Structure 1
Amino acid sequence: MIQTVLLDISGVLYQGPEAIPGATEALTRLRSSGLQVRCLTNSTRQPKHRIMDKLRDLKFEIQPEEVFTPVAACLDWLSRTGHSPRLLVHPALEEEFSACDRNGPPAVIVGDAAQEFSYENMNRAYRLLQNGAPLIALANNRIFKDEDGQLSLDAGCFVKALEYATGIRAQLLGKPDPGFFRAAVASTGAAPAQTAMIGDDAESDIAGALVAGLAEAYLVRTGKFREGDETRFAPEPTDTVSDVCEAVACLTGLAA
């Protein structure tokens, strides 16, 4: 029996400046049905507090401890290993690393750096990697749906470029890393086999969740979804639905 539901944020709960129609009510329906909720995002263009501000502005009732980001996993990794971050991230994200120890051996941290993915910055990261620094990817998504409604290149493309140039395999800390899903599930006291995922990315959200051992995964036709995604990656989704409202209806047994 499903006890916990994990949801992606951008493309599932909101897109650009607006909530997906019915998404706030869908989240309320999950809670009123006795299901626990956690939100997992690979967004690395803004710090967590801005994500929380936007969710609250859009009337979503979500607490900070219910939102899991790759940065939190990265900060834990840096603390455990004693590495010092060398950032290739969006400038807005740099504040998340302000308290990090800068005296340890360097580690290259890559997020969605947008315009910061310049030759100079990529080459600086390459040279650090050549000198032995580990490569840490906050996410490896191929594409995302941008603010203008069009698809844009995501951080995974640039992570792959660094992997290709150096022969080093990145350590992934966001989706679809199984540990990222399992940490969110563990915070609820449930097991992966008692958990479902709702997402718009067939590779990172859906296939990633099922590989991590989640029982069900629902692919929504909002956000970055493109026709054919439902069969593009394995494992395939439990079901492909119109939006988060229909996914919640499937999970709660109530009409959307």
Structure 2
Amino acid sequence: MSTLRAVLLDLGGVFYEADRPIPGATEALARLRESGLPLRFVTNTTRQSRAALLRELAGRGLAIAQDELFTPATAARDLLVGRGLRPLLLIHPDLAPDFAGLDTAEPNAVVVGDAGEHFRYATLNQAFRLVHGGAPLFALGRNRYFQEADGLSLDAGPFVAALEYASGQTAELLGKPAPAIFRAALASTGCAPADAVMIGDDVDSDVNGAIDAGLRGILVNTGKYRPGDESRLKPGGVVVNDIGAATTVALR
């Protein structure tokens, strides 16, 4: 087995569920910090800006540096600027600061995140018309659902799938499980994929996505995990009870 040189981690469902901390999570993070290994936090959360997320995490007792946090919105902004695109943003209003200053007049591209209750037929139809007419479609994530305090809720994936189905086009994925986001996080550590592990609660986006990118994967039985998810786990992945157990497995 390769030597462990970096650890990638999801946030929601791994360290906390809605407003509740997962028991042992802060202790597990302290153990990972003590190991001296570089840590990178790779999240598909798109209901708040990167700055707001960092503030929220600090309030939860999770001290994470800006350069340790990787989000699809950051990747999307870089891509839009690099390609000179004007986006129609189907995103949550709280994510808007991550796209501030971009030219959105006469959009020629579509970006879809988790807009939650702010998804509207009119904007979805505008997005459909643009993509059907040839505009590129970018997905900040393809997650089917996530865990909230009162149960599971639809994530961005079903809305991305609807636009793909209606337009006949395929979205370019910027969040997990796209290999690019795992590799970008690892590139900042200088670590090869074979020497890293990803810990997450989503068997498809977190663990299987990381395995496809060449990492090892650990699935925790918290957050959005549901019995039977382990049956979809690809070779190279293991299942444990929680982040505390995942930390033990990763560091041994």
TM range (shorter): over 0.9
Query: Where does structure 1 lack aligned partners over 5 or more consecutive residues?
Result: none
User: After superposition, where does 1:17-166 map in structure 2 within 5 Å?
Assistant: 17-102=19-104, 106-148=108-150, 150-166=151-167
Aligned equivalents of 1:222, 1:237: Cα separation in 2: 20
Amino acid at match of 1:183: A
Aligned equivalents of 1:21, 1:53: Cα separation in 2: 21
Residue pair 1:90, 1:116 contacting (<8 A) in 2 also? yes
Q: Give the deviation of 1:238 after TM superposition.
A: 2.2
Structure-2 residue corresponding to 1:238: 237
- Are the structure 2 counterparts of residues 147 and 121 from structure 1 closer, same or farther at C-alpha, using a change threshold of 3 Å? farther
Structure-2 residue corresponding to 1:250: 249
Q: Give the deviation of 1:92 after TM superposition.
A: 1.1
Aligned equivalents of 1:38, 1:175: Cα separation in 2: 14
Structure-1 residue corresponding to 2:217: 217
Amino acid at match of 2:245: E
Residue pair 1:18, 1:58 contacting (<8 A) in 2 also? no
- After superposition, give the CA deviation of every residue in 1:91-122 in whole Å (9 maximum; x if it has no partner): 11122111113468621000011112222121
Residue pair 1:7, 1:199 contacting (<8 A) in 2 also? yes
Amino acid at match of 1:22: G
Residue pair 1:206, 1:236 contacting (<8 A) in 2 also? no
Aligned equivalents of 1:25, 1:52: Cα separation in 2: 19
Q: Secondary structure at the match of 2:198?
A: strand
Structure-1 residue corresponding to 2:171: 170
- After superposition, give the CA deviation of every residue in 1:191-246 in whole Å (9 maximum; x if it has no partner): 111100000000000000000011x210000000000001125x256211110000
- After superposition, give the CA deviation of every residue in 1:131-188 in whole Å (9 maximum; x if it has no partner): 221100000001111232x111111001000000000000000000001100000101
- Percent sequence identity is 50
Aligned equivalents of 2:125, 2:11: Cα separation in 1: 32
Q: Secondary structure at the match of 2:175?
A: coil
RMSD of equivalent CA atoms: 1.3
Aligned equivalents of 1:78, 1:24: Cα separation in 2: 36
Aligned equivalents of 1:19, 1:237: Cα separation in 2: 28
Structure-1 residue corresponding to 2:182: 181
TM norm structure 1 = 0.94
Residue pair 1:206, 1:237 contacting (<8 A) in 2 also? no
Residue pair 2:41, 2:70 contacting (<8 A) in 1 also? yes
Q: Secondary structure at the match of 1:56?
A: helix
Aligned equivalents of 2:62, 2:143: Cα separation in 1: 25
Q: Secondary structure at the match of 2:30?
A: helix
TM norm structure 2 = 0.96
Q: Secondary structure at the match of 2:7?
A: strand
- Are the structure 2 counterparts of residues 59 and 120 from structure 1 closer, same or farther at C-alpha, using a change threshold of 3 Å? same
Residue pair 2:46, 2:140 contacting (<8 A) in 1 also? yes
Q: Secondary structure at the match of 2:8?
A: strand
Residue pair 1:230, 1:237 contacting (<8 A) in 2 also? no
Q: Secondary structure at the match of 1:76?
A: helix
